Structure 1
């Protein structure tokens, strides 16, 4: 779980992408924007709209770059829409996705998961709905990735032993 405005999430992005690629045969890695505060909703919308429009692979890194390299801020839907239009998305497509029932449902799910996992900050990695880890628990991104490996192996062993 992440927030585009979080510098720690941004710093983790390359490491977590490499880790997920390395373990692709063992895991199903999915991102979910956390919604810790109302101010996080606009950027969560950005993730889900990009996903809904089939543009996530292209716009996910672009959103991070816009915030952390260009210093852009996305405080409302208009600013988010401008970003999408500037990146080649049709205005009407953005508006339809932004007003969709699917977006509302995904935002509700993100809020529920943020509360379910007791998140007060990000990044946080949830393993199989059971375990939560984060760089602030392990003192570094590298240590967190080692913990993830251990948790995955623990889950694999547990699943294997229950057959």
Structure 2
């Protein structure tokens, strides 16, 4: 990694965490499943399903919310993927209502998609890399307009 990539300022950073209203149902399901197992195996082992399933549900929710969208060091990073901003083309923002067509009938099967249902807007960024068969990235971003402005000015 070059010296400039390490010291370059971050122009945009966002984490697509799971909101508070997304936690009760999975946690309740984990507790309910643990209670079902507990009823079938009473005794010393009764705590085991709670000790395994509830932390597993928490881990799943935290992992789902660990996706980052970031523009720094001359790169756009979405999740584990990254691309230099020089290879980015047109940037388009879809609100929560118009993203249905972008995610459905208009979606290219070769596109890189990172969608989080609890995040309304999505950003579509065209790729201009002749060696990459991916035509564009389509990903969720809460501050989609701000991200689009950052990408357009680069």
Instruction: Please report the TM-score for the alignment, with normalisation by the length of structure 2.
Output: 0.22
Work out which structure has the larger RCO, using CA pairs closer than 8 Å and 6 or more positions apart in sequence: 1
Instruction: Please report the TM-score for the alignment, with normalisation by the length of structure 1.
Output: 0.21
Q: Which has the higher helix share?
A: 1
- Greater radius of gyration (CA): 2
Q: Which has the higher strand share?
A: 2
